[in-house]
Amino acid sequence: MKLDLKSILILILLLTTLIFGYKWFYSNGSASKERVKQLELEFKELEKKKLANISEIDSLKNVFNLLKLEDARLKEELIKLENEARLAEITAAQSKQRFAELQAQLAETRRKIEEFKKNPPNRTGDALLQSLKNKTQ
């Protein structure tokens, strides 16, 4: 095998390339170490934010559940109040009807009194005695 100058130069270049490539690949450069540290710090910060957000979500869930219970209680109270209002309306209508009946009876009684004042009954005999007897008892 004949080694000429060209072959030797190619072998030397190949070897130097392999050496520098190996050194670059397996060496931990300061720039990459710094970047890894930065990424680790960012990761820790994001984990802290994640935990804070999770706790905030949990507290908001608790508030939501409390508000949901309050909403249900208020709906029940509203239904109760609506039923009471309906009953009050029915009672008011019945009272109004009873009042109208009493007004009519009062008007009839006043009419009879006025009629009685204008035309008092003339009682004579047994009717007069019975009337006096009823009034004295």
Q: What pLDDT, in 10s, does the model give residues 22-58? A: 887 777 667 777 888 899 999 999 999 999 999 999 9
Q: Tally Cβ neighbours within 10 Å of residue 126.
A: 8
Average pLDDT for residues 11-32, to the nearest whole number? Answer: 82
**Mean confidence (pLDDT) of the chain:** 88
**Percent of the chain's residues with pLDDT above 90:** 60
Distance CA 102, CA 95 (A): 10
**83-113 pLDDT, tens digit each:** 999 999 999 999 999 999 999 999 999 998 8
Q: How far is CA 67 from CA 33, 62, 72, 76, 117, in A?
A: 51, 9, 9, 14, 72
Element (H, E) at 84: helix 30-118
CA distance 38 to 13: 37
d(CA 132, CA 124): 11
Residue 8 has pLDDT above 70, yes or no: yes
Q: Where are the domains of the chain?
A: 5-118
